[in-house]
Structure 1
């Protein structure tokens, strides 16, 4: 949420209100939503081209490894859906509008930062891989975070200024006041050094000591008067005109009001009395409604209700807590959601998107950096959402009063997205209640009776692929391959072959980087054994093939090793068969596309023709992940950091567009006779056969030549895509100029609140 101006007030008085502290050997409760927003920007991960999830994953993992070294035990608590009373709707829609305009600004070379839409999934993947416990609250998490932290007497970490007001026994640490570098001070008692993070700790008692005449129980009144997501400070202008403070004039103007309020509060010992005095400055006809609003806002800080016990969940490591009070969550039309659905939401097995759908019949789709003059990228994945809505709404059906009543939010889902004029638009989207080859869709209460095979069939029909196509791919690639097919078939405007081929190479690239890191680690690990035992290189590769490359919670850890490489495509297996030399040569050739970021300016803006295709893919993948979650993950869940790198996709798509023989170029960088080239050929062949030849946008090369030469070059490109063998040893020799890295000029925190 956030209190207007409170953080900057504390920042200006940090020597008085904050205490230096070495954080180690403790539990901390972390505001999950705030943390992954903060980290994406603090770690300077690129965002212009849809998200560098591979970089984000690696850097976030390093943060949690740092916590381990300091013996800090983090517990992550995420927000859930939006409250049914709609008290934050205005704020949510304002942020959605701001995000639309910011996305357009960035696409034209302007400065700003937008959190890519798969950052949440990537962050959760790190938590799973690192064994970091997390939970998702039913709705806003603040009060439950406070209760959990006070139960453990440990600090809360967040950048949400609301936590300045809560009475936290273990204190509050803003991420902005954490030095995320290991410190190794000496313990004055033992003389031994230890690892810690240097932080500045806030405690409500510190605040009360700095203002002796002020009662800390009145802090919620200050939060209301300054304004937050629930109430506007403009409602109290008449009251503000009466405030006077002898010492506030020495403060910056933005802090004078807060200081004056603090001085005024010294005359009151209860928040109720203070509120009644404030209301005397409000017109009589508005007092009752405003009183109710103020009381509700204040009780947010003092009445710490919880829908289920987080301490029961974390302390007992049991799912029993997930079953608490599930009957209190009701759908939009008043029916009860199944307990399994609420438990899945709380455990993070399904996205909060589903709770918003069931409770509110409303979703806000986050705008991406894309072509703002055409329909939103989410229009490509609309059919997937319609099927999900059919399942989610079936048990909550409401028949219109008559046939003339038309669509309403009772029977449809209200979606907020952008239009072609960069405005926020509302659409009542009708659900799909049956599929031709599947029949009537089940409701939430019936999903438990549907077999795994039937749930797979449902996904395949939604994504327009047959079972025979699915069988071609190893489990880690199955859902991803299906989404790629759906993306190509449904994209409007159509994507190009450059987008498609760049994505396939990106999958191989990221798996190759993982493999080469593993080989280097294993080389160091087995160095001593190699000196004492006669172990062949093949034996070493075989003994390490199952380590470190798979999600420990997926249902088929060794699926790539067990898969027949002839009958099933497995990129990981291909990279394991490659020699270290082949992998190294490939990575050296593509490093300029993966590691280099071209500055985005008004003179050199983002090419929306490229980014829009990637944004469409991300929208399709997000909804593909969602429907797989809703159907209780019958297919292995794709991990964004293993196949999507926005900078690489943008650079490499642009590079392929400039080539007269793009497939020959791909063959050259993969290595004509390498396993990576072979697996690219397999993937390209199987997908291309399924989608046909007319599914792509036909474009010429990107080279600036004379008209005659340009026409000839374009003809060569078309012939190359139609007839060339991707394993051909012929390749272009005209390498592009090296793209230079940009300086990081953005304000890293300026847009934290633009994501809803």
Structure 2
């Protein structure tokens, strides 16, 4: 993962204290943690085939087991909705993620990608929250950005913060900031984890900077809200031997340390320092810098505590029982669809497969049109998506305010209508939702039949009956061997089909959550294993594995084939599949 210039500068100057973490509370930036664990795993977790959720679960469980062994009590806080003030920055990141996804898709498997070219599989956050719940780890999903709540919780509980976000170098975290890059949890022994602790006071002391000016430094150095274009002026004034980006930061700190702050209160100090910095590089005062500065002053007052969503829905979001996308839909009527690794020779993204499901999700949340940002070819474009309300008069009475009080049969019927399916009692509970999704996805793919479609479907069905934690038999041994072999013959069309399936699955999970789970919630970590599924999507391998099935697995597989009718490719098939 990319390391900020500020971290490099702090490390080079040894402005962190070596510590052994044990017997303490710890506030964890949840989003930073799941990104970090996925990207830095060893062996490296799959990104090219759509992700490896069982492997990710194993990594996350190891991390929290280490904390438990060291008597570290974690409290995890995750991001919720991103407001319109960051829209420009988030859109820029979306374009960058599109470039990365395309690079990953078009790079040969044996070629090492340059640092920073990572793509997060679509269900990682869902899997992460599921693990937190299973392990009984205290956590909260914010209605807005997590940073203010992380700082507030850390200072209230007198704990350090664990993250990779450079913003925590600027915030006044009383007990300091532990950067995940220096948090050596895999080297933990004797109940202690080696780490480096950063404190803002030590940083300010070194640079002879008034702590009140740290927010000014943050706003001109560059963050999600502002960045001062100084055309190299500050770097030229630095005596630091570091690279340009470090010279620039050093020059800024040197300049801010010399601003006359006599007889000014903290607010006046910040205003003067900003004006002097802007004047120094011949820039006019700009509201975006003032907005960025305010973000670091008394962050506990910046916590988003309300939404246009009903209170019961907000509570579901905070407990991780409903995706925070619901806030973006209702409060801003905008959704950003993060680029995936797929077949970039196809003009439209995999998200188009789940278009109808999203329309129902939007229709239950709000009326009108939602703006989606998705790829069109190699560009990010905005699309207007009309929401859909359930069709029957009884279902139309369902409104968000009282959705949680509606009968289960009605909520299930809305789910079935969105996916154009009928649920069956003839399959295990854990498979009910995945099979509905697979029926919906397969029918979509039949409209444009491709030879790999049937193989992808059979690969999913074989994966559904797999029990890697159960008794080992010939089928399970062959499945494990296939996963361990890795994927050498990556096929864009196969990747696209599985990516479409994941988009349908993710949106169906969220629709089911919004409908208060009329279908049993499946285990997210068991939903998809990219390397294995890509190996399974081969006719010869499928036939070999089918021969090894016996007992209950064979029976379930036979039932699934009957339900999904994998030999049907005609467009005129029934509009409602029984599943």
What is the TM-score of this pair, normalised by structure 1?
A: 0.69
Is structure 2 residue 493 aligned with structure 1 residue 497?
A: no
Q: Report how far residue 306 of structure 1 moved.
A: 4.7
Q: Write the deviation string for residues 591-635 of structure 1: whole angstroms up to 9, x where unpaired.
A: 232122235xxxx6x311111110010000001001011111122
Checking the alignment, whether the CA contact within 8 Å between 2:337 and 2:372 is kept in structure 1 is yes
Q: Report how far residue 88 of structure 1 moved.
A: 1.1
Q: Specify which of 11, 16, 19 is matched with residue 18 of structure 1.
A: 16
Q: Which residue of 2 aligns with 1:121?
A: 126
Is structure 2 residue 483 aligned with structure 1 residue 607?
A: no
Aligned mates of 2:4, 2:186 — CA distance in 1: 30
Is structure 2 residue 313 aligned with structure 1 residue 344?
A: no
Q: Identify if the C-alpha distance between structure 1 residues 676 and 266 changes in structure 2 by more than 3 Å, giving closer, same or farther.
A: same
Q: Which residue of 2 aligns with 1:197?
A: 193
What 5-or-longer segments of structure 2 have no aligned partner? 262-268, 574-579
Q: Identify if the C-alpha distance between structure 1 residues 243 and 647 changes in structure 2 by more than 3 Å, giving closer, same or farther.
A: closer
Q: Identify if the C-alpha distance between structure 1 residues 227 and 307 changes in structure 2 by more than 3 Å, giving closer, same or farther.
A: closer
User: 1:594-633 counterparts in 2 under 5 A?
Assistant: 594-598=483-487, 606-633=490-517
Q: Write the deviation string for residues 260-294 of structure 1: whole angstroms up to 9, x where unpaired.
A: 1121122233222211212435768x43xx0x222
Checking the alignment, whether the CA contact within 8 Å between 1:357 and 1:363 is kept in structure 2 is yes
Instruction: Specify the SS of the correspondent of 1:513.
Output: coil
Q: Identify if the C-alpha distance between structure 1 residues 282 and 176 changes in structure 2 by more than 3 Å, giving closer, same or farther.
A: closer
Q: Which residue of 2 aligns with 1:694?
A: 570
Q: Which residue of 2 aligns with 1:473?
A: 427
Q: Which residue of 2 aligns with 1:241?
A: 233
Q: Report how far residue 74 of structure 1 moved.
A: 0.7
Is structure 2 residue 292 aligned with structure 1 residue 297?
A: yes
Is structure 2 residue 6 aligned with structure 1 residue 6?
A: yes
Q: Identify if the C-alpha distance between structure 1 residues 500 and 277 changes in structure 2 by more than 3 Å, giving closer, same or farther.
A: same
Aligned mates of 1:417, 1:273 — CA distance in 2: 42
Is structure 2 residue 206 aligned with structure 1 residue 210?
A: yes
Q: Which residue of 1 aligns with 2:39?
A: 41
Q: Specify which of 356, 364, 377 is matched with residue 383 of structure 1.
A: 356
Aligned mates of 2:56, 2:238 — CA distance in 1: 49
Aligned mates of 1:441, 1:490 — CA distance in 2: 29
Aligned mates of 1:283, 1:17 — CA distance in 2: 32
Q: Identify if the C-alpha distance between structure 1 residues 4 and 227 changes in structure 2 by more than 3 Å, giving closer, same or farther.
A: farther
RMSD between aligned alpha carbons?
A: 2.4
Instruction: Specify the SS of the correspondent of 1:280.
Output: helix
Q: Write the deviation string for residues 365-400 of structure 1: whole angstroms up to 9, x where unpaired.
A: 112111122221111111011111111114xxxxxx
Aligned mates of 2:57, 2:332 — CA distance in 1: 32
Q: Identify if the C-alpha distance between structure 1 residues 663 and 64 changes in structure 2 by more than 3 Å, giving closer, same or farther.
A: closer
Q: Which residue of 2 aligns with 1:259?
A: 250
Q: Report how far residue 460 of structure 1 moved.
A: 1.1
Aligned mates of 1:306, 1:470 — CA distance in 2: 50
Aligned mates of 2:272, 2:544 — CA distance in 1: 75
Checking the alignment, whether the CA contact within 8 Å between 1:26 and 1:72 is kept in structure 2 is yes
Q: Report how far residue 90 of structure 1 moved.
A: 1.3
Q: Report how far residue 472 of structure 1 moved.
A: 1.8
Q: Which residue of 2 aligns with 1:403?
A: none
Checking the alignment, whether the CA contact within 8 Å between 2:70 and 2:191 is kept in structure 1 is yes
Q: Identify if the C-alpha distance between structure 1 residues 693 and 493 changes in structure 2 by more than 3 Å, giving closer, same or farther.
A: closer
Q: Which residue of 1 aligns with 2:468?
A: 513
Aligned residues: 551
Is structure 2 residue 183 aligned with structure 1 residue 178?
A: yes
Q: Identify if the C-alpha distance between structure 1 residues 307 and 204 changes in structure 2 by more than 3 Å, giving closer, same or farther.
A: closer
Checking the alignment, whether the CA contact within 8 Å between 1:488 and 1:696 is kept in structure 2 is no
Aligned mates of 1:486, 1:386 — CA distance in 2: 15
Q: Which residue of 2 aligns with 1:682?
A: 559
What 5-or-longer segments of structure 1 have no aligned partner? 185-193, 309-324, 331-336, 395-410, 517-582, 698-756
Checking the alignment, whether the CA contact within 8 Å between 2:235 and 2:249 is kept in structure 1 is no
**Higher Cα Rg, which structure:** 1
Q: Which residue of 1 aligns with 2:79?
A: 79
Q: Which residue of 2 aligns with 1:435?
A: 391
Bigger Cα displacement from structure 2, 583-592 vs 635-644: 583-592
Checking the alignment, whether the CA contact within 8 Å between 2:486 and 2:531 is kept in structure 1 is yes
Q: Report how far residue 340 of structure 1 moved.
A: 0.9
Q: Identify if the C-alpha distance between structure 1 residues 146 and 663 changes in structure 2 by more than 3 Å, giving closer, same or farther.
A: closer
Checking the alignment, whether the CA contact within 8 Å between 1:504 and 1:683 is kept in structure 2 is yes
Q: Report how far residue 412 of structure 1 moved.
A: 0.7
Aligned mates of 1:142, 1:81 — CA distance in 2: 12
Q: Report how far residue 57 of structure 1 moved.
A: 0.8
Aligned mates of 2:11, 2:128 — CA distance in 1: 28
Q: Identify if the C-alpha distance between structure 1 residues 109 and 252 changes in structure 2 by more than 3 Å, giving closer, same or farther.
A: closer
Q: Specify which of 296, 307, 315 is matched with residue 329 of structure 1.
A: 307
User: 1:392-403 counterparts in 2 under 5 A?
Assistant: 392-394=365-367
Aligned mates of 2:382, 2:239 — CA distance in 1: 49
Q: Which residue of 1 aligns with 2:413?
A: 457
Q: Specify which of 99, 102, 111 is matched with residue 101 of structure 1.
A: 99
Q: Write the deviation string for residues 533-570 of structure 1: whole angstroms up to 9, x where unpaired.
A: xxxxxxxxxxxxxxxxxxxxxxxxxxxxxxxxxxxxxx
